[in-house]
């Protein structure tokens, strides 16, 4: 009788350990390992702590151990394709699939805003049929993924110039933004034909025009006013806490130049199409360690 009871208790104990592990592996689509389980536990605990502290400590003082806004520069498509003997367009397709396959996971830890640097203003100079192919691919994604984004409750915003983007894609962008504008807890920002320099320039021009028309006084212009004129003002959390650039390149190029003044910069060597749930969890774990060690920079 005691032996049977011991077996039952042992199986119960093992199930209490194994089931959460299997859930984490399935939920984040990461390999089942002790390291990933530990990372998940740390991020989950930090998320709970942030919620408990948010009502008692000011935004600047509380530190925010989990980022509210994660920005990602999707880099490495071409090198990923070259390593496999593929063309650049096939690398872009693989990168797009990586985004769509992981879109839910980007928000899984209570992260509110995710920015994706999908197409730089400088990318218009790419050779051959790459740019037309990218525009066509963006249209396909907008059409096929909109039902999923609605179902996930994701608000969609697209920032950047719109003068050179095909009108058919512009129509899809407007439709997506209108259909998801009331969603609050998850916000996906696509930077399309975006330039950090242009963003700063258009914000300065807007402030200058308002000053010229007597709507504001020049001496009243400050950082807060500037923040409100930038394209990222569409987000509740306009400045990213964590910026990830894949492929090992250690620079942010022409992306979020103003907004990244106090951002933690993370440069994994993995090429974008291979950046999945495990790598994202590693980035969040790295961010948490930085927060515990150095605190929030303001």
Distances (CA, A) of 76 to 37, 134, 185: 28, 15, 30
Q: 186: part of which helix (H) or strand (E)?
A: strand 186-194
**C-alpha span between 120 and 117 (Å, rounded):** 7
What is the side-by-side strand order in the sheet with 69-73? 154-159, 186-194, 113-120, 69-73, 242-245, 264-266
Ordered alpha helix ranges (H), the chain: 2-28, 34-54, 59-62, 77-83, 88-106, 130-152, 167-180, 196-212, 223-229, 277-294
Q: Is 75 a catalytic residue?
A: yes
Terminal CA-to-CA distance of the chain, rounded, Å?
A: 63
Burial (CB count <10 Å: 0-12, 13-18, 19+), residue 58: exposed
Contact 281, 30 (CB under 8 A): yes
Each as own residue / partner, the long-range contacts of residues 173-182 (CB below 8 Å, 24 or more positions apart, any chain) are 173/142, 175/146, 176/142, 176/146, 176/149, 179/146, 179/150, 180/149, 180/150, 180/154, 180/155, 180/156, 181/155, 182/155
CA 240 → CA 172, 237, 259, distances in Å?
A: 26, 7, 7
- Selected catalytic residue, list 75, 193, 199, 285: 75
The residues assigned a catalytic role are: 75
């Amino acid at each position: 009788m005691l032996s049977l009871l011991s077996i039952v208790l042992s199986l119960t104990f093992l199930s209490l350990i194994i089931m959460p592990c299997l859930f984490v592996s399935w939920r984040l689509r990461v390999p089942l390992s002790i390291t990933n389980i530990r990372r998940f536990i740390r991020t989950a605990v930090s998320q709970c702590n942030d919620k408990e502290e948010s009502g008692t400590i000011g935004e600047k003082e509380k530190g925010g151990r989990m980022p509210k806004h994660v920005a990602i520069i999707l880099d490495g498509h071409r090198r990923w394709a070259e390593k496999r003997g593929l063309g650049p367009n096939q690398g872009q397709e693989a990168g797009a699939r990586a985004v769509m396959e992981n879109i839910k996971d980007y928000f899984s830890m209570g992260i509110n805003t995710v920015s994706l640097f999908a197409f730089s203003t400088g990318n218009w100079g790419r050779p051959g049929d790459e740019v037309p192919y990218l525009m066509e691919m963006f249209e396909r994604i907008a059409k096929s993924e909109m039902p999923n984004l609605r179902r996930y409750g994701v608000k969609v915003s697209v920032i950047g110039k719109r003068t050179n983007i095909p009108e058919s894609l512009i129509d899809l962008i407007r439709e997506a933004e209108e259909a998801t504008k009331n969603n609050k807890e998850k916000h996906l920002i696509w930077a399309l034909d975006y330039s950090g320099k242009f963003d700063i320039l258009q914000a300065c021009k807007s402030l200058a025009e308002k000053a010229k028309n007597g709507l504001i006084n020049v001496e009243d212009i400050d950082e807060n006013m500037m923040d409100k004129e930038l394209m990222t003002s569409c987000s509740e959390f306009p400045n990213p806490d964590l910026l990830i650039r894949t492929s090992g390149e250690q620079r942010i190029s022409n992306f979020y130049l103003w907004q990244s003044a106090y951002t933690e910069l993370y440069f994994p060597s993995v090429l974008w199409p291979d950046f999945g749930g495990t790598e994202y969890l590693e980035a969040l774990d790295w961010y948490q360690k930085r927060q515990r060690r150095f605190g929030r920079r303001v």
